[in-house]
Amino acid sequence: MAAVHWDVAASLDKLLEQINTIAPHRSKASDGSIGDANHANRSSDHNPWYPPPAGGLVTARDFTHDPAGGLDCDRLANELVASRDPRIKYVIWEGQIADHRRITRTIAGKTATHPAFTWLPYTGPNPHRHHLHLSVIDSPLCTDDSPWPLPMFAPAIPPPEDSVTYRLDATATPDGARWDAQPTAEWLATEDTIATPGPTGGWRGGHEPRAD
């Protein structure tokens, strides 16, 4: 039998690229795209079934949980679900599944319809505790390779170069207080900031009030 040509949906390749950029040394022990023989014998997005009837695209990918290496799948799972990205079909992680559709399920004898992207118990044979599973939608959206807009991929924003932060040091002077230039979030002054009076008189951490 001739080998079946397959590719991974471009949206999943883009997510893989973004993850590897922020965590280049992470473990990939449980990463995966196309399924093994076990997957081939059942319905699975790890099989290259899209688009029908000929197929050729795998619409699922697994990502290894490796917080020490830079990829925390708890965070990845929550940010994917919070994003409600239209490319997402469902996410499986830590014995739970979140689907892009409204789902009617019977849990503990009670039947209810749950909103889209609600975490519900996952009843499949693999609870997915070592890797996160992401399936993308079976439509042309799966080939959208736009960057995934997750906070974990946002670049860190450095503080302005001319910023100085101050803290109140209660033991620095005999009268009990002074402004000390050490990093904290309590007070921020820049060249264009007019400082407030210091606790012991005078102006601290900036300029005296200007008439202009």
Q: Does the pLDDT value for residue 166 go beyond 80?
A: no
Q: What is the CA radius of gyration of the chain?
A: 26
Average pLDDT score over residue span 163-181 = 50
Q: Does the pLDDT value for residue 27 go beyond 90?
A: yes
Taking residue 37's Cβ as centre, other Cβ atoms within 10 Å add up to 6
For residue 162, what pLDDT is reported?
61
| 176 vs 194: CA distance, rounded Å | 24
Coil, helix or strand at residue 119 = strand
Average pLDDT score over residue span 154-159 = 76
For 46-70, the pLDDT digits (tens) are 998 899 887 889 999 999 999 999 9
More confident residue, 169 or 130: 130
Average pLDDT score over residue span 181-203 = 44
Q: Does the pLDDT value for residue 197 go beyond 90?
A: no
For residue 53, what pLDDT is reported?
83
More confident residue, 79 or 202: 79
| 146 vs 12: CA distance, rounded Å | 10
At CB < 8 A and 24+ separation, what contacts does 104-108 make?
A: none
More confident residue, 70 or 209: 70
For 123-141, the pLDDT digits (tens) are 888 999 999 999 999 999 9
